[in-house]
Amino acid sequence: MSYQLRDIVRLHGRDAVMATQYWRDRLFNQLRGKTTKSLVICNSFPKSGTHLLYQILYSIDNLQKWDDIVSVQALCGVMNTASHIRWKVGSAPDGSIVRSHLMYCDEILDVLKEFNCKIFFIYRDLRDVAVSHARWVTKEERIFLHDIYRQYPSFDEQLMSSIKGVPLGSPFGSNLSQPDIGTDFSRWQGWIAEPSALAVKFEDLVGERGGGSEEKRLYLVEQILDYLEINLPLERIKSQFASRALDPEESHTFKKGGKGSIGGWQAYFKDGHKQAFKEVAGQLLVDLGYEENMTW
Protein backbone atom coordinates (compact mmCIF):
# COMPACT_ATOMS: atom_id res chain seq x y z
CA MET A 1 0.00 0.00 0.00
CA SER A 2 1.46 3.40 -0.99
CA TYR A 3 2.26 6.09 1.56
CA GLN A 4 -0.59 8.35 0.44
CA LEU A 5 -3.15 5.55 0.20
CA ARG A 6 -2.19 4.36 3.68
CA ASP A 7 -2.77 7.87 5.07
CA ILE A 8 -6.10 8.24 3.31
CA VAL A 9 -7.33 4.93 4.75
CA ARG A 10 -6.16 5.97 8.21
CA LEU A 11 -7.90 9.36 7.95
CA HIS A 12 -11.17 7.73 6.88
CA GLY A 13 -10.95 5.48 9.93
CA ARG A 14 -10.32 8.49 12.15
CA ASP A 15 -13.34 10.29 10.68
CA ALA A 16 -15.58 7.26 11.21
CA VAL A 17 -14.74 7.32 14.92
CA MET A 18 -15.34 11.10 15.15
CA ALA A 19 -18.63 10.88 13.26
CA THR A 20 -19.86 8.20 15.66
CA GLN A 21 -18.95 10.35 18.66
CA TYR A 22 -20.52 13.45 17.09
CA TRP A 23 -23.89 11.78 16.45
CA ARG A 24 -23.85 10.04 19.84
CA ASP A 25 -23.22 13.35 21.67
CA ARG A 26 -25.85 15.12 19.59
CA LEU A 27 -28.46 12.48 20.41
CA PHE A 28 -27.52 12.56 24.09
CA ASN A 29 -27.86 16.36 24.21
CA GLN A 30 -31.25 16.21 22.50
CA LEU A 31 -32.48 13.71 25.08
CA ARG A 32 -31.35 16.11 27.82
CA GLY A 33 -33.13 18.99 26.10
CA LYS A 34 -29.84 20.82 25.38
CA THR A 35 -30.01 22.33 21.90
CA THR A 36 -26.38 23.29 21.33
CA LYS A 37 -23.02 23.87 22.96
CA SER A 38 -20.95 27.05 23.12
CA LEU A 39 -17.30 27.00 22.06
CA VAL A 40 -14.46 29.50 21.67
CA ILE A 41 -12.38 29.10 18.50
CA CYS A 42 -8.70 30.08 18.79
CA ASN A 43 -7.90 30.18 15.07
CA SER A 44 -4.73 31.17 13.25
CA PHE A 45 -2.76 31.02 10.07
CA PRO A 46 -0.22 28.32 11.00
CA LYS A 47 2.87 29.51 12.92
CA SER A 48 1.28 32.86 13.79
CA GLY A 49 1.09 32.54 17.57
CA THR A 50 -1.86 30.26 18.26
CA HIS A 51 -0.64 29.37 21.74
CA LEU A 52 -0.07 32.98 22.75
CA LEU A 53 -3.77 33.69 22.21
CA TYR A 54 -4.66 30.31 23.74
CA GLN A 55 -2.82 31.30 26.95
CA ILE A 56 -4.90 34.44 27.25
CA LEU A 57 -8.14 32.56 26.68
CA TYR A 58 -7.53 29.72 29.12
CA SER A 59 -6.62 32.26 31.79
CA ILE A 60 -10.26 33.41 31.70
CA ASP A 61 -12.60 31.84 34.23
CA ASN A 62 -15.10 29.26 32.93
CA LEU A 63 -13.19 28.57 29.71
CA GLN A 64 -11.43 25.22 29.55
CA LYS A 65 -8.54 23.78 27.58
CA TRP A 66 -9.16 21.13 24.94
CA ASP A 67 -6.10 19.12 23.99
CA ASP A 68 -6.63 18.82 20.26
CA ILE A 69 -6.31 20.98 17.14
CA VAL A 70 -8.72 21.27 14.21
CA SER A 71 -7.09 21.93 10.85
CA VAL A 72 -8.01 22.11 7.18
CA GLN A 73 -4.98 19.93 6.40
CA ALA A 74 -3.72 16.79 8.09
CA LEU A 75 -0.02 16.53 8.95
CA CYS A 76 0.38 14.04 6.11
CA GLY A 77 -0.73 16.72 3.64
CA VAL A 78 -4.24 15.42 2.86
CA MET A 79 -6.92 18.14 2.98
CA ASN A 80 -9.66 17.53 5.53
CA THR A 81 -13.35 17.78 4.63
CA ALA A 82 -16.03 20.07 6.05
CA SER A 83 -17.61 16.96 7.61
CA HIS A 84 -14.36 16.14 9.41
CA ILE A 85 -14.21 19.68 10.80
CA ARG A 86 -17.86 19.47 11.94
CA TRP A 87 -17.30 16.14 13.67
CA LYS A 88 -14.07 17.20 15.33
CA VAL A 89 -15.30 20.59 16.53
CA GLY A 90 -18.49 18.88 17.68
CA SER A 91 -16.51 16.47 19.85
CA ALA A 92 -15.14 19.29 22.03
CA PRO A 93 -16.88 19.65 25.43
CA ASP A 94 -19.18 22.60 26.04
CA GLY A 95 -17.22 25.70 27.07
CA SER A 96 -13.98 24.54 25.47
CA ILE A 97 -11.34 26.60 23.69
CA VAL A 98 -10.71 24.91 20.34
CA ARG A 99 -7.35 25.66 18.72
CA SER A 100 -7.56 25.59 14.96
CA HIS A 101 -5.96 26.33 11.61
CA LEU A 102 -9.10 26.93 9.55
CA MET A 103 -9.10 28.95 6.35
CA TYR A 104 -11.92 31.35 5.59
CA CYS A 105 -14.84 29.99 3.56
CA ASP A 106 -18.62 29.66 3.77
CA GLU A 107 -18.49 25.94 4.61
CA ILE A 108 -16.33 26.52 7.68
CA LEU A 109 -18.40 29.51 8.78
CA ASP A 110 -21.52 27.33 8.63
CA VAL A 111 -19.87 24.67 10.81
CA LEU A 112 -18.78 27.19 13.45
CA LYS A 113 -22.20 28.86 13.54
CA GLU A 114 -23.72 25.45 14.27
CA PHE A 115 -21.85 25.37 17.58
CA ASN A 116 -22.51 28.97 18.63
CA CYS A 117 -18.79 29.73 18.40
CA LYS A 118 -16.97 32.86 19.44
CA ILE A 119 -14.22 33.08 16.81
CA PHE A 120 -10.78 34.60 17.31
CA PHE A 121 -8.19 34.87 14.53
CA ILE A 122 -4.55 35.70 15.23
CA TYR A 123 -2.12 36.65 12.46
CA ARG A 124 1.49 37.76 12.34
CA ASP A 125 4.17 39.37 10.15
CA LEU A 126 4.47 36.75 7.43
CA ARG A 127 8.25 37.10 7.34
CA ASP A 128 8.41 35.85 10.94
CA VAL A 129 5.88 33.17 10.00
CA ALA A 130 8.16 31.97 7.18
CA VAL A 131 11.12 31.60 9.57
CA SER A 132 9.02 29.72 12.12
CA HIS A 133 7.51 27.51 9.41
CA ALA A 134 10.91 26.53 7.99
CA ARG A 135 12.18 25.56 11.44
CA TRP A 136 9.03 23.62 12.26
CA VAL A 137 8.97 21.60 9.04
CA THR A 138 12.66 20.75 9.39
CA LYS A 139 12.23 19.48 12.97
CA GLU A 140 8.77 17.89 12.82
CA GLU A 141 9.08 14.42 11.30
CA ARG A 142 5.32 13.95 10.95
CA ILE A 143 4.77 16.92 8.64
CA PHE A 144 4.45 15.97 4.97
CA LEU A 145 7.18 18.38 3.79
CA HIS A 146 9.77 17.20 6.34
CA ASP A 147 11.72 14.85 4.08
CA ILE A 148 11.83 17.43 1.30
CA TYR A 149 13.17 20.15 3.61
CA ARG A 150 15.74 17.79 5.11
CA GLN A 151 17.22 17.33 1.65
CA TYR A 152 18.17 21.01 1.46
CA PRO A 153 21.78 21.62 2.51
CA SER A 154 21.10 24.88 4.41
CA PHE A 155 18.47 26.80 6.35
CA ASP A 156 18.62 29.48 3.65
CA GLU A 157 17.11 27.04 1.16
CA GLN A 158 14.56 25.75 3.66
CA LEU A 159 13.47 29.33 4.35
CA MET A 160 13.23 30.03 0.62
CA SER A 161 10.82 27.11 0.23
CA SER A 162 8.66 28.47 3.05
CA ILE A 163 8.49 31.75 1.13
CA LYS A 164 8.15 30.55 -2.48
CA GLY A 165 6.41 27.25 -1.75
CA VAL A 166 7.15 23.77 -3.00
CA PRO A 167 5.90 23.12 -6.55
CA LEU A 168 4.23 19.83 -7.44
CA GLY A 169 6.80 17.38 -8.80
CA SER A 170 9.75 18.98 -7.02
CA PRO A 171 11.80 16.97 -6.29
CA PHE A 172 11.07 14.86 -9.36
CA GLY A 173 8.16 12.48 -8.89
CA SER A 174 6.85 14.09 -5.68
CA ASN A 175 3.08 14.37 -5.29
CA LEU A 176 3.43 16.86 -2.44
CA SER A 177 3.21 20.62 -2.79
CA GLN A 178 2.90 23.83 -0.81
CA PRO A 179 1.76 27.23 -2.18
CA ASP A 180 3.84 30.37 -1.75
CA ILE A 181 3.21 32.16 1.52
CA GLY A 182 1.17 34.97 -0.04
CA THR A 183 -1.17 32.60 -1.85
CA ASP A 184 -1.45 30.45 1.26
CA PHE A 185 -2.36 33.36 3.56
CA SER A 186 -4.97 34.63 1.10
CA ARG A 187 -7.12 31.63 2.07
CA TRP A 188 -7.17 32.89 5.69
CA GLN A 189 -7.29 36.64 5.06
CA GLY A 190 -11.09 36.84 5.08
CA TRP A 191 -11.14 36.30 8.85
CA ILE A 192 -9.69 39.79 9.36
CA ALA A 193 -12.82 41.48 8.00
CA GLU A 194 -15.34 38.84 9.14
CA PRO A 195 -17.97 40.61 11.33
CA SER A 196 -18.58 37.57 13.54
CA ALA A 197 -14.88 37.13 14.39
CA LEU A 198 -12.31 39.15 16.33
CA ALA A 199 -8.95 39.39 14.53
CA VAL A 200 -5.83 40.21 16.57
CA LYS A 201 -2.22 40.83 15.63
CA PHE A 202 0.46 38.74 17.31
CA GLU A 203 2.64 41.84 17.63
CA ASP A 204 -0.09 43.69 19.55
CA LEU A 205 -0.66 40.77 21.92
CA VAL A 206 2.90 39.70 22.71
CA GLY A 207 3.62 42.53 25.19
CA GLU A 208 6.92 43.67 26.70
CA ARG A 209 8.22 40.14 27.22
CA GLY A 210 8.08 39.55 23.48
CA GLY A 211 9.46 42.93 22.47
CA GLY A 212 6.10 44.65 22.09
CA SER A 213 4.00 47.17 23.97
CA GLU A 214 2.34 46.25 27.25
CA GLU A 215 -0.20 49.03 26.71
CA LYS A 216 -1.27 47.53 23.37
CA ARG A 217 -1.45 44.07 24.90
CA LEU A 218 -3.71 45.09 27.75
CA TYR A 219 -5.94 47.14 25.46
CA LEU A 220 -6.30 44.10 23.21
CA VAL A 221 -7.08 41.88 26.21
CA GLU A 222 -9.89 44.31 27.08
CA GLN A 223 -11.24 43.90 23.52
CA ILE A 224 -11.07 40.12 23.85
CA LEU A 225 -13.02 40.22 27.12
CA ASP A 226 -15.60 42.60 25.64
CA TYR A 227 -16.09 40.27 22.68
CA LEU A 228 -16.70 37.42 25.13
CA GLU A 229 -19.09 39.68 27.10
CA ILE A 230 -16.93 39.45 30.22
CA ASN A 231 -16.43 42.43 32.53
CA LEU A 232 -13.32 42.60 34.72
CA PRO A 233 -11.85 45.52 36.67
CA LEU A 234 -8.87 47.18 34.98
CA GLU A 235 -6.55 46.34 37.89
CA ARG A 236 -7.41 42.66 37.63
CA ILE A 237 -6.75 42.74 33.87
CA LYS A 238 -3.33 44.27 34.50
CA SER A 239 -2.38 41.71 37.13
CA GLN A 240 -3.88 38.63 35.47
CA PHE A 241 -3.00 39.25 31.82
CA ALA A 242 0.30 41.13 31.87
CA SER A 243 2.83 39.43 29.58
CA ARG A 244 5.09 38.61 32.52
CA ALA A 245 2.21 36.95 34.38
CA LEU A 246 2.08 34.15 31.79
CA ASP A 247 4.73 31.55 31.00
CA PRO A 248 6.26 32.08 27.53
CA GLU A 249 7.93 28.66 27.67
CA GLU A 250 4.53 27.11 26.97
CA SER A 251 4.42 28.83 23.58
CA HIS A 252 6.30 27.11 20.75
CA THR A 253 5.97 30.17 18.52
CA PHE A 254 7.38 32.47 21.19
CA LYS A 255 10.45 30.29 21.61
CA LYS A 256 10.97 30.02 17.88
CA GLY A 257 10.65 33.74 17.35
CA GLY A 258 14.09 34.44 18.77
CA LYS A 259 15.22 37.00 21.31
CA GLY A 260 12.55 39.64 20.70
CA SER A 261 9.85 37.51 19.08
CA ILE A 262 8.94 40.49 16.89
CA GLY A 263 11.02 41.14 13.77
CA GLY A 264 13.23 38.07 14.22
CA TRP A 265 13.08 37.54 10.43
CA GLN A 266 15.73 40.24 9.98
CA ALA A 267 18.42 37.90 11.32
CA TYR A 268 17.60 35.26 8.67
CA PHE A 269 16.43 37.06 5.54
CA LYS A 270 19.15 37.65 2.96
CA ASP A 271 18.72 39.76 -0.16
CA GLY A 272 17.41 36.77 -2.11
CA HIS A 273 14.79 36.03 0.54
CA LYS A 274 13.66 39.66 0.59
CA GLN A 275 13.27 39.78 -3.18
CA ALA A 276 11.40 36.47 -3.30
CA PHE A 277 9.10 37.60 -0.49
CA LYS A 278 8.32 40.91 -2.20
CA GLU A 279 7.33 39.00 -5.33
CA VAL A 280 4.84 36.70 -3.59
CA ALA A 281 3.65 38.73 -0.59
CA GLY A 282 5.18 42.21 -0.59
CA GLN A 283 1.91 44.05 -1.23
CA LEU A 284 0.22 41.85 1.36
CA LEU A 285 2.63 43.16 4.03
CA VAL A 286 1.60 46.70 3.10
CA ASP A 287 -2.10 45.80 3.15
CA LEU A 288 -1.73 44.19 6.60
CA GLY A 289 0.08 47.26 7.97
CA TYR A 290 3.53 45.72 8.46
CA GLU A 291 5.25 47.98 5.92
CA GLU A 292 4.39 51.35 4.42
CA ASN A 293 5.92 50.34 1.10
CA MET A 294 8.16 47.65 -0.36
CA THR A 295 11.50 49.42 0.10
CA TRP A 296 12.64 47.30 3.06
Distance CA 234, CA 231 (A): 9
Mean pLDDT score of the chain, rounded to an integer?
88
Beta bridge partners of 96: 64
Return d(Cα 290, Cα 272) in angstroms, integer: 20
Tell me: pLDDT of 25 over 90: no
258: DSSP letter: T
Domain-located, residue 245? no
Does some domain include residue 145?
Answer: yes
The answer to whether residue 53 sits within a structural domain is no
**169 in a domain, yes or no?**
yes
Average the pLDDT over 3-11 and give the result: 67
Q: Which of 1-5, 43-47, 102-106, 235-239 has the lowest mean pLDDT?
A: 1-5
The pTM of the whole model exceeds 0.85 = yes
Sequence-separated (6 or more) residues with CB below 8 Å from residue 251 = 49, 51, 52, 55
Q: Is residue 277 part of a domain?
A: yes
181 within domain boundaries? yes
* Structural domains counted in the chain: 1
Q: Are 162 and 133 within 8 A, CB to CB?
A: yes
Domain-located, residue 122: no
Per-residue model confidence (pLDDT) at position 253: 46
- Residue of 131, 140, 152 whose CA lies nearest to 261: 131
Buried/exposed code over 83-95 (b: 16+ C-beta within 10 A; e: otherwise): ebbbbbbbbbeee
Q: Is residue 274 predicted with pLDDT exceeding 60?
A: yes
State pLDDT tens for residues 54-86.
999 999 988 999 999 999 998 888 889 999 999
CA dihedral 134, 146, 65, 240 (to 10 degrees): -20
Residue 206: half-sphere exposure toward Cβ, Cα within 13 Å? 24
User: Among residues 99, 109, 91, 117, which one has the least CA distance to residue 43?
Assistant: 99
Q: How far is CA 137 from CA 5, 68, 147, 172, 207, in A?
A: 22, 19, 9, 20, 27
Q: How far apart are CA 137 and CA 140, in angstroms?
A: 5
What is the domain extent for residue 147?
A: 127-185+255-287
Q: What is the pLDDT of residues 170-215, one digit of tens each?
A: 666 567 789 999 999 999 999 999 999 999 999 999 998 888 999 9
122, containing H or E segment: strand 118-123
Q: Does 27 reside within a domain?
A: no
